[in-house]
A and B are shown apart, each in its own frame.
Chain A
Amino acid sequence: MTRYIIMRVLSTIPVMVLVALFVFLMLRLAPGDPASVIAGDYATAEDVARIREQLGLSDPIVVQFLRWVASLVQGDLGTSIFSGKPVTELIGQRIEPTLMLALTTITFAVVVAVPLGTLAAFRAGSLVDRFVMLFSVGGFSVPVFVLGYILIYIFSMTLGVLPVQGYKSPFTEGIGPFLYHITLPSVTLSVIFIALIARMTRASVIEVLEEDYIRTARAKGQSEMKILTRHALRNAAVPVVTVIGIGIALLIGGVVVTESVFNIPGLGRLVLDAVLARDYPIIQGLILFFSFVYIFINLIIDLSYTLLDPRIRY
């Protein structure tokens, strides 16, 4: 068991190295001289030379990669070209709104989607089921920003009950203003997750309800409600938890867009500003940061399987 955990943790290392390699190569393999790409269209020859020096671009590519990995291992994600600040510091300044948005979204999505999916499975073929399936197909089809604008139009511009944009920290400005501002972005972003999780919950519960042990429970005289809560849900959990893990990738993309729509000063905005400013160390650093977060969360989810299903013992 312990051995498995160690192995599993170690197995993330090659994946992280690969991610680092992708991100590294992306910049080097792009057409043109990376230094002048980074420096931008209006840079002078000195600027380009300075950037080349700063990024060590004259060294052999292997040396560059190893040096970069070495600095990554020390927790150094690079330095912004324009502000001169370390990327880690910038992430630290901007992480709170993003984290809060992600947490409220995931929580809301799970709380809504799991009961919805279970209900749909339990009443497969019914009106409720059709509604849930329709909602989930719809949820996959509307782009998150369009949804955001529709909600802004309804709740902010027409009804005037929620603010158009902005973010208030729950730590410095109180929980009330925080919720008041986070509701719309969070609901917007959660729609696709509700679709994703409800769909998987439904499929998984339907499959479990076909299992022999459900029949055994019926043969014992157990009630349908208890069969659902006691026998079906826990067995259906692994695929649902897996899909939440995969959904993290989707969430990260969604955060960038949602922050942009609702003008939330988080990591998503940091990326977009960096793209506009062509501040590549920030883009690189953030992609790596998000990828590592994804790998870490999926590691935790993998390890949680042992708690959900006693058959999984490594």
Chain B
Amino acid sequence: MSILEVTNLTVKLPDGADRPFAIEDVTLKVEKGQILCIVGESGSGKSVTAFSVMGLADRRALTPVSGTIKLDGEDILDIDDARLRKLRGEKMSMIFQEPMTALNPVLRVGDQISEMLEIHTDLTRSQRKTRVIEAMTDVRLPDPEKMYRSYPHQLSGGQRQRIMIAMALTLEPQLLIADEPTTALDVTTQAQILKLIKDIQRRKGMGVMFITHDFGVVAEIADHVAVMKHGRIVEQGSVAEVLGAPKDPYTQKLIAAVPSMIPPEREVATGQIALETDDLVKTYGQAGLLGQGRVVKAVREVDLTVRRGETLGIVGESGSGKSTVARCIMRLVDPTSGEVLINGENIASLREGQLRSHRRDIQIVFQDPYRSLNPRRTVGQSIVEGPVNFGLSMNEAKARAAELMQVVGLSPDALERFPHQFSGGQRQRICIARALAMEPMILIADEAVSALDVSVQAQVLDLLDDVRKRFDLAMLFITHDLRVAAQICDRIMVMNKGEVVESGFTSTVYANPQHDYTRALLAAAPGQIGPAA
């Protein structure tokens, strides 16, 4: 029996948006005891669908104009606010992408779960507390009695998401809506949360509507799949049908773009060593005036070498220190100790004046395409800034910029435009062009494809690999995503808590991981999909 039936739902966007409807003619069902995954890239309308079902979409901006949303036979679009509030929590509930911001920072987490019971039941305070502790135990939170009194900021990301799940499930609703609940989490935590959601769903026989952009997660958790594009469902069916034999070209393209966990064969690089670090250490904080100050060792004794024409990947979860390594090499932060050798010359402790001439040899592409370009300056101005700093004439710099535009697959007239006129993927291309304009030896990509949709991600990865070959660059590729690393890196280093735990050729490490942490990381990577799945 269906718990949720959405029929021909169309939701209008406000006038002046880039398209008339946020979602159009959406029809889907969630059965009891079934997990439906809605997959799509950003702007596909998958979240609007979820929020419309909860009645949480902002009615002023997003107006449902036709269709029905039947929850257990009752049309959500047809009931008053009081009834809707009653259904929320009792019959359907929701968990969100960012467990940190989804919890109220000034209230104890136990009380926030308890609030659910306070709204919907007549239980006394102590009965509520018992139920909350039960719910917390149910999602396998350690020491629930103690954790009841914690505030959200005192918990880890995974624990916070468990709190959210406990809250959503206290009243045993028939439908759980999960909006990208693992996207903000590290890969090992993600694996645990996915398992938890699946376990509880099986045990309670709930229906789950699970929103995600990640086909790996789909393979991991879904019974049924609906693929969305530009507000429409382009394909739906069982997980085996959609992943195994996708019919719609868009679905095919998306699945093809998902990087595989199996590293391709790569030649061993033999170019000269361009970048080397020796015992690189970065610590933050210092001894305080009164007693011990807090000292955080972000990077501990990291040694690495990158040859020209080679890509070294640094893989790790958040807080592993991988980005700090990149920033130390770039001298955007000053290393505490150790050496950074560019072409054999140590730049770790050079003063800014001496450092400047080395800056052109080493360039970086950042994660966030929206903040990497000065919004007030044209693309051309951003690209020529560096070369002009190093004495190129404005005309020569512009000519070079125009050439590079073609290298990165954009038209030269893009130089006259402002960053806001480009999409995220295009901006990353511009950032790559800006880096190349300096004619560097070394290119650092710091999570450079992490903010991009999967289809765009694949293109930018190809571009990076292409420019590495064409300009014989030494590339340092920082990422949290093992699938991406598998595709582009010749060698990888795995970092955990500031330390390198394992390094070697990518294919060797993936085939035969030595360190426990590497094994855990590889095992946690979601859904190795392919013909086998």
Q: Do chains A and B touch in the complex (CB under 8 A)?
A: yes
Q: Which residue of chain B is the closest to A216 with respect to CB atoms?
A: B102
C-alpha gap A221/B56 in the complex (Å): 10
Q: State whether B90 touches A213 (Cβ < 8 A).
A: no
B151: which of A3, A223, A235, A310 is its contact (CB, 8 Å)?
A310
Knowing A3-B290, A7-B290, A223-B85 are in contact, say whether A218-B56 is a contact too (CB < 8 A): yes
- Chain B, range 69-108, C-beta contacts under 8 Å to A: 84-90, 93-94, 96, 98, 101-107
Q: State whether B88 touches A219 (Cβ < 8 A).
A: yes
Knowing A215-B56, A310-B151 are in contact, say whether A220-B290 is a contact too (CB < 8 A): no
C-alpha gap A310/B96 in the complex (Å): 23
Q: State whether B56 touches A219 (Cβ < 8 A).
A: yes
C-alpha gap A211/B101 in the complex (Å): 7
C-alpha gap A211/B98 in the complex (Å): 11
Known contacts A215-B102, A310-B106, A311-B106, then 16 further A-B pairs from the complex at CB < 8 Å, ordered by chain A residue: A3-B290, A3-B291, A212-B101, A215-B56, A216-B164, A219-B56, A220-B88, A220-B89, A220-B93, A220-B115, A221-B86, A221-B88, A221-B119, A222-B115, A234-B107, A310-B105
Q: Which residue of chain A is the closest to B154 with respect to CB atoms?
A: A310
Smallest distance from the beta carbon of A123 to chain B beta carbons, Å? 13
Smallest distance from the beta carbon of A286 to chain B beta carbons, Å? 34
Chain A residue numbers with a CB within 8 Å of B485 are none
**Taking beta carbons and an 8 Å cutoff, which residues of B are in contact with A?**
54, 56, 84-90, 93-94, 96, 98, 101-107, 115-116, 119-120, 151, 153, 164, 167-168, 289-291
Chain B residue numbers with a CB within 8 Å of A308 are 106
Smallest distance from the beta carbon of B39 to chain A beta carbons, Å? 22
Knowing A311-B151, A311-B153 are in contact, say whether A213-B119 is a contact too (CB < 8 A): no
Smallest distance from the beta carbon of B91 to chain A beta carbons, Å? 10
A-B contact pairs, 16 of them (CB 8 A): A6-B290, A7-B289, A212-B101, A212-B102, A215-B102, A216-B96, A217-B115, A220-B116, A221-B116, A222-B85, A230-B107, A231-B104, A231-B107, A308-B106, A309-B106, A311-B153
Chain A residue numbers with a CB within 8 Å of B153 are 310-311
C-alpha gap A212/B115 in the complex (Å): 16
Q: State whether B151 touches A215 (Cβ < 8 A).
A: no
Chain A residue numbers with a CB within 8 Å of B107 are 230-231, 234
C-alpha gap A213/B104 in the complex (Å): 5
Chain B residue numbers with a CB within 8 Å of A6 are 290
Q: State whether A213 touches B290 (Cβ < 8 A).
A: no
Q: State whether B151 touches A216 (Cβ < 8 A).
A: no
Chain B residue numbers with a CB within 8 Å of A218 are 56, 88
- Chain A, range 146-167, C-beta contacts under 8 Å to B: none
Knowing A212-B98, A218-B56, A221-B119 are in contact, say whether A235-B104 is a contact too (CB < 8 A): yes
C-alpha gap A133/B98 in the complex (Å): 34
C-alpha gap A213/B163 in the complex (Å): 13
Chain B residue numbers with a CB within 8 Å of A212 are 96, 98, 101-102
Chain A residue numbers with a CB within 8 Å of B291 are 3
C-alpha gap A62/B291 in the complex (Å): 34
Smallest distance from the beta carbon of A2 to chain B beta carbons, Å? 10
Which has the most chain B C-beta neighbours within 10 Å: A216, A218, A220, A309? A220
C-alpha gap A217/B105 in the complex (Å): 13
Q: State whether B93 touches A219 (Cβ < 8 A).
A: yes
Smallest distance from the beta carbon of A62 to chain B beta carbons, Å? 27
Smallest distance from the beta carbon of A53 to chain B beta carbons, Å? 43
- Chain A, range 1-59, C-beta contacts under 8 Å to B: 3, 6-7
Smallest distance from the beta carbon of A213 to chain B beta carbons, Å? 4
Chain B residue numbers with a CB within 8 Å of A220 are 88-89, 93, 115-116, 119, 167
